[in-house]
Amino acid sequence: MMPTGAAALLAALLAFSGLEQTLRVVPLPRDGEVLVSFQLAQTLTPELRTAIASGLTISFVYKVDLRRSSATWFDRTIASSVVTATIKYDNLTRRYHLTRMLDGSTDIAETTDREEAAWAWVTQQFERIPLFRRVRLESNGEYYVRVRAHTSPVRGAFVWPWQGDDVVGLAKFTFLR
């Protein structure tokens, strides 16, 4: 039998994976780097609200790839990065602890007492992040940025019923010099 918090989290993540979601991606190539903005259009479900209120840490993991299209073979990955946004509610202080990590290193950490701000932190607060620095892009080359997102618990002793990503978004661009 699963603990109540773990059961709530499982129900929330199952609900999250089954809803209609969109992931908007906007790349901006500039001065030898590609800045990436993305936003997950996902409403806060009652199940997910319950899981967060239980105090479990929930992570939204965004795997971001800079890729080059290929007409003859598989598309080539130029560079990859992982952005992780976590949310943990502290029942004693009634505050949300928020963290954003880039490739395993903490980028920003904040706290808030507003649920809307905490939800925006894990789904919408990704503007012009310099994920790909010193990448060599060919003039007039066709590229795209693909973002794959999924949720995961930081703690948990149960097996998830699915593999892979919950939602994928991409945006193409031509590098002009």
User: What global pTM score does this model have?
Assistant: 0.80
HSE of 97, CA atoms in CB hemisphere, 13 A: 10
Give the model's pLDDT for residue 22: 85
For 83-128, what is each residue's pLDDT tens digit? 999 999 999 999 999 999 999 999 999 999 999 999 999 999 899 9
Please state the separation of Cα 103 from the chain's center in Å: 12
Give the model's pLDDT for residue 165: 59
Give the model's pLDDT for residue 112: 96
| Burial class (CB within 10 angstroms; exposed 0-12, middle 13-18, buried 19+) of 38 | buried
Question: Which regions in the chain score pLDDT beneath 70?
Answer: 1-21, 154-165
Give the model's pLDDT for residue 1: 40
CB 78 within 8 A of CB 66: yes
Q: How far apart are CA 14 and CA 125, in angstroms?
A: 23
Please state the separation of Cα 42 from the chain's center in Å: 12
Q: How far apart are CA 29 and CA 20, in angstroms?
A: 30
